Amino acid sequence: MSEKATIPFQGTPEQEAELKKVIEAHRDQPGGLMPTLQGAQGIYGYLPIEVQKMIADGLGVSLSEVFGVATFYSQFSLTPKGEHKVSVCLGTACYVKGSDKVLEAVEQKLGIKAGECTADGKFSIECCRCVGACGLAPVMTIGEEVYGKLTPDQASKIIDSYLTEKGGE
Amino acid sequence: MTFEELTQIREKHSDLIKVRKLIASEAAKMAEKTEYRKQILVCGGTGCTSSGSKKILEALDNELKAQGIENEILVVRTGCFGLCSLGPIVIVYPEGVFYSQVTPEGVVRIVDEHLKNDQICKDLLYKETVHADGSIIPLAETNFYKKQKRIALRNCGVIDPENIEEYIGTRGYEALYKVLDSMTPDEVVKEVLDSGIRGRGGAGFPTGRKWMFTKDAPGDVKYVACNADEGDPGAFMDRSILEGDPHAIIEAMTIASYAVGAHQGYVYVRAEYPVAVHRLQVALQQAREYGLLGKNIFGKGHDFDIEIRLGAGAFVCGEETALLTSIEGNRGEPRPRPPFPAVKGLFGKPTLLNNVETYANIAQIIRKGAAWYSSMGTETSKGTKVFALGGKITNVGLVEIPMGTTLREIIEEIGGGIPGGKKFKAAQTGGPSGGCIPAKYIDTPIDYESLQALGSMMGSGGLIVMDEDNCMVDVSKFYLEFTVDESCGKCNPCRIGTRKLHQLLDKISKGQATMDDLDLIDSLANHMKTSSLCALGQSAPNPVLSTIKQFREEYEAHIKEGRCPAGVCKDLLKYEIIADKCKGCTLCARNCPVGAITGTVRQPHVIDADKCIKCGVCMSNCKFGAVVRK
């Protein structure tokens, strides 16, 4: 977890009410911390320390325990993600078909590295391990969209299409 | 639910399903007995959904209505057919013909010409199923399917996974009835033991013995769990089974719960598999509604229910003790064994934990008997195994074959060989815990022991094919990068060992290593194997050790000559333009991302080696073959 300057926490009362419901649902369930964190990330998009504190208080566990679990699993993020989440698959099937070069092209295009978010909060890049679409290798996803059988060039053009869409707003 | 009710549902659906399984001539007769003239199956697996099968379904729906034949044609959205690279896939019965890479426009033609007017759209069919003389062979007779024996995948691509009645139509839940009605827990365990099935998740421990240990462990509260945390990048059989046949897992876990005396089950599934999670949720709900899960199942006094727990992206959670720790809501770190989960597992209670593919075989073993199952396979490895074929192979997808099938049959016949006329170099099995099998062992019959003897392992069944363009040092480095990332950090041999191994491989890939480093790798790897806490660390050196053993000359070329024979390791590469071949078209210079190429129009261009990032764009763009890699 790198200590990058991040957007300050801006939770709304509605989100907090929703989080309380999630906490309530899992409070007495054996092993309820993981589902609570998953629910919380679904509400806020990430798990800032403020949210972890609320979960610790709500479930009656220590903050260190919450932090320990939140940092162990790669799906949990302590920093916010970009509006467009670009995710390049580095699973074996994609890798042997050159997804490392796809990642490079995307990083170069956006001027950030994997695990980072652009300053305007529009794009973030991450690497993932196999989305299970090995037949389409190499694969990248942007949000829910899946792009397969990519070349570095095509990947770069796809990013372009998101950039111009943004410019047209 | 009573057995009579179950039989009624089965009879209602079994003819429809038989149409999808019989040879074309008999299927046509069977189709006449059903209320649908034709059936059209659309793959709804993750692979095909990614390549657009949702749009296909919409277009299909609209066109059927537009033509007014929506009541004569049954549309079934199935799980994965296995041929993922050809998606989206559509099959029409009773003919059993196979349309590949279907577009929404193609679907409109299939409806108008084939479904309505009985004219098969030959030009849209998968080309392997159309002979030169124009005759069409059904999918079941293609090379891809002919050699397969589908048991775990029996319903994938055949039934609608979100309709419990279709599963019942394939004699689903009959094994569960048989167990609850007429078998003692001991008899169930004996049947599984006698079948000889071994764990399909990786280690290959005899499944029946796990069941026996859990049954015999003292304690009132016991659990049954399913490992669906398929972390091996490149393996997707568990996902496909959950997506294509979730009830098979529910039925098997319920059978297991009766055998070991458990009343609560957990399925631990990767959050990265949203389609699988959704289908499993739907299936659980339906099973409860039909009284096949919950209190007093079939009125036989056995209670059992299943809860889904989502993983959160940690490879180590595929290890059994780490998985159970994660279900308990903690950091998914493994713990020492013994005690094994069968004695002290989830929440400290005896727990039976099997992999998805293992469970997918259970109902068939109970229904058809241990002798039937053990008649397939080799001396020590019974039954079939599902492999996820990936990498440099024509037919990327899922295949299920009897144990003992050779690598050559899988790659050349079922897989359709290596594309682009390239040479087969190695097959990687077992993912980050396995190794590479070189081309000279292509005739090895595959089972647990033979793979281990070659320094690899069965693992969960990922089978990545590599050709002459893949560098073995680079591949080992890739797997080590993975294990460095995924090591949980609890024990030193794994946490520090993987990092050190990675550093050594990095040195080799940069041409900075000496031959002494190979000895260092060997000694470090052996320490990791003997002293790591769990299988992740114990097996992490396997990709390196196996490639050093099988491709030593490639490592030596990196070390002694500073050369990467496959042309992959960037630091050892150099791109140059051959002046005689260069026409000065400027295409390379315009596409170079770092402006490393200079030259005037119609004059030979030059690459500045200091600026070049070796991305290879110039080479792939050059129409005259003037760019070379050295």
Quick one: three-class SS letters along B440-501? Answer: HHCCCECCHHHHHHCCCCCCCCEEEEEECCCCHHHHHHHHHHHHHHHCCCCCHHHHHHHHHH
Task: Specify the length of chain B in residues.
Answer: 630
| Tens digit of each residue's pLDDT (9 = 90 or more) over A81-103 | 888 999 999 888 888 888 999 99
Kindly report, as residue ranges, where domains of CATH 3.30.70.20 are found in chain B.
574-629
- Looking at the predicted structure, is the pLDDT value of residue A166 above 60? no
Contact B587, A153 (CB under 8 A): no
3-state helix, strand, coil in chain A (%, to 5): 50, 10, 40
**Which pLDDT score, from 0 to 100, does residue A167 have?**
44
Residues A14-23: b if buried by 16+ CB within 10 A, e if exposed? eeeebbeebb
Best of B100, B273, B275, B330 to mutate (most A CBs within 10 Å, chain A): B330
Q: Tell whether the torsion through CA atoms of B21, B88, B401 and B422 is positive or negative.
A: positive
Tell me the chain A residues in contact with residue B234 when contact means C-beta distances shorter than 8 Å. Answer: 91-93, 130, 134
Chain A positions touching B333 (Cβ under 8 A) are: 72
Share of chain B above pLDDT 90, in %: 85
pTM: 0.91
Q: Pick from B494, B592, B574, B577: which is nearest to B534 by CA?
A: B494
What pLDDT score does B132 carry?
85
Cβ pair B231:A32 closer than 8 A: no
Q: Which residues in chain A touch residue B83, judged by CB atoms under 8 angstroms apart?
A: 135
Q: Do B313 and A73 touch (CB under 8 A)?
A: yes
- Indicate whether A131 pLDDT > 80: no
CA nearest B568 in A: which residue?
A98
Q: Which positions ≥6 away from A87 have C-beta within 8 Å?
A: A125, A126, A127, A128, A131, A140, A141, A142
Enter the tokens of residue B224: 């049954």
Interface test with B, best of A95, A101, A141, A160 (most B CBs within 10 A): A95
Residue type, B30: M
Candidates A32, A76, A152; nearest CB to B617: A152
| B384-467 maps to CATH 3.90.1150.10 | no
Contact B437, B427 (CB under 8 A): yes
Per residue in A21-42, pLDDT (tens digit) is: 999 999 999 899 999 999 999 9
Enumerate the residues of chain B whose CB falls inside 8 A of the CB of residue A137: 390-391, 396
- Comparing CA positions, the residue from B561, B575, B388, B393 lying closest to residue B470 is B393
Residues of chain B with pLDDT under 70: none
- CATH 3.40.30.10, chain B: domain bounds: 9-140
Distance of residue A68 Cα from the nearest chain B Cα, in angstroms: 7
pLDDT of residue A137: 86
C-alpha–C-alpha distance, residues A163 and B586, integer Å: 27
Measured between alpha carbons, how far is residue B241 from residues B142, B202, B361, B513 in Å? 22, 17, 11, 45
> Cβ of A134 and B234 within 8 Å?
yes
Instruction: With beta carbons less than 8 A apart as the criterion, state whether A123 and A112 touch.
Output: yes
In this prediction, residue B515 carries a pLDDT of 97
pLDDT for B205: 95
Is A45 or A59 the better-scoring residue by pLDDT? A59
What is the structure's pLDDT at B582? 94
If one counts every other C-beta atom within 10 angstroms of the C-beta of residue A141, the result is 19
B47 closest CB neighbour out of A31, A92, A133 = A133
Q: Cα distance from A145 to chain B (closest Cα, Å)? A: 8
- Give the minimum alpha-carbon distance from B80 to chain A in angstroms, rounded to a whole number: 11
* CATH match for A84-167 among 3.10.129.10, 3.40.30.10, 3.10.150.10, 3.40.630.30: 3.40.30.10
In contact, A133 and A139? CB cutoff 8 Å: yes
Structure tokens at B205: 């421990």
Chain A, 69-128: which have a CB under 8 Å from a chain B CB? 69, 72-76, 90-93, 95-97, 101, 104-105, 108, 128
Within a 13 Å sphere around the CA of B174, how many CA atoms are in the beta-carbon half?
17
Helices (H), B246-349: 246-260, 274-289, 320-327
- Tell if the CB–CB gap between A30 and B328 is shorter than 8 Å: yes
B273 contacts in A (CB within 8 Å)?
132
Shortest distance, CA A4 to any CA of chain B (angstroms): 20
Please determine, for residue A168, whether its predicted confidence score (pLDDT) is greater than 50. Answer: no
Q: Name the DSSP class of B206.
A: B
Residue in A with minimal Cα distance to B236: A132
Matching residue, tokens 């990498």: B391
pLDDT of residue B271: 86
What is the CATH number assigned to the segment(s) B574-629? 3.30.70.20
Q: Is A85 helix (H, G, I), strand (E, B) or coil?
A: strand
All residues of chain A having their beta carbon less than 8 Å from the beta carbon of residue B620 are: 151
Residue-level pLDDT at A7: 65
Q: How many CB atoms lie within 10 A of CB B467?
A: 20
> Hey, are the CB atoms on A132 and B85 less than 8 Å from each other?
no
Q: Which fold has domain B9-140?
A: Glutaredoxin (3.40.30)
Using a CB-CB cut-off of 8 Å, the residues of chain B touching A85 are none
Whether the pLDDT of residue A157 is over 80: the answer is yes
**pLDDT value of residue A91:** 84
Cβ–Cβ < 8 Å for B434, B453? no
Cβ atoms of residues A156 and A111 within 8 Å: no
Contacts of A132 in chain B (CB under 8 A): 46-47, 236, 239, 272-273
Instruction: Report the residue of A47, A134, A142, A150 to disrupt the B interface, i.e. the one with the largest count of B CBs within 10 Å.
Output: A134
In whole angstroms, give the CA distance from residue B506 to residue B508.
5
DSSP state at residue A42: H
ipTM score for this prediction: 0.84
From residue B585, alpha-carbon distances to A132, B469, B520, B591, B620 in Å are 41, 28, 50, 12, 14
Give A143 to chain B, closest Cα distance, Å. 13
Task: Determine whether the interchain pair A75/B478 forms a contact, defined as Cβ–Cβ distance below 8 Å.
Answer: no
Largest Cα span, chain B:
87
Please tell me the distance in Å from B193's CA to the nearest CA on chain A.
Answer: 32
- Run of H or E residues at B109: helix B104-109
**Length of chain A (residues):** 169
Domain boundaries, chain A: 13-72, 84-167
Q: B16-67: per-residue pLDDT in tens? A: 999 998 888 899 999 999 999 999 999 998 888 877 888 999 999 999 999 9
Ranges in chain B annotated CATH 3.40.50.11540: 164-374
The domain B164-374 having CATH identifier 3.40.50.970: the answer here is: no
Q: Does A59 touch chain B (CB under 8 A)?
A: no
Quote the CA–CA distance of B440 and B461 in Å, as a whole number.
21
Cα A69 versus chain centre, distance = 16
pLDDT at A169: 38
**Sign (positive/negative) of CA torsion B409, B415, B416, B418?**
negative
- Nearest residue of B to residue A138, measured between CA atoms: B391
- Domain B472-561 grouped into CATH 1.20.1440.230: yes
Query: Across the interface, do A139 and B328 touch by the CB < 8 Å criterion?
Result: no
Residue A1: predicted pLDDT: 43
A92 CB neighbours in chain B (<8 A) are: 233-234, 390-391, 428, 431, 462, 464, 478-479
Q: What residues in A contact B591, CB-CB < 8 Å?
A: 153
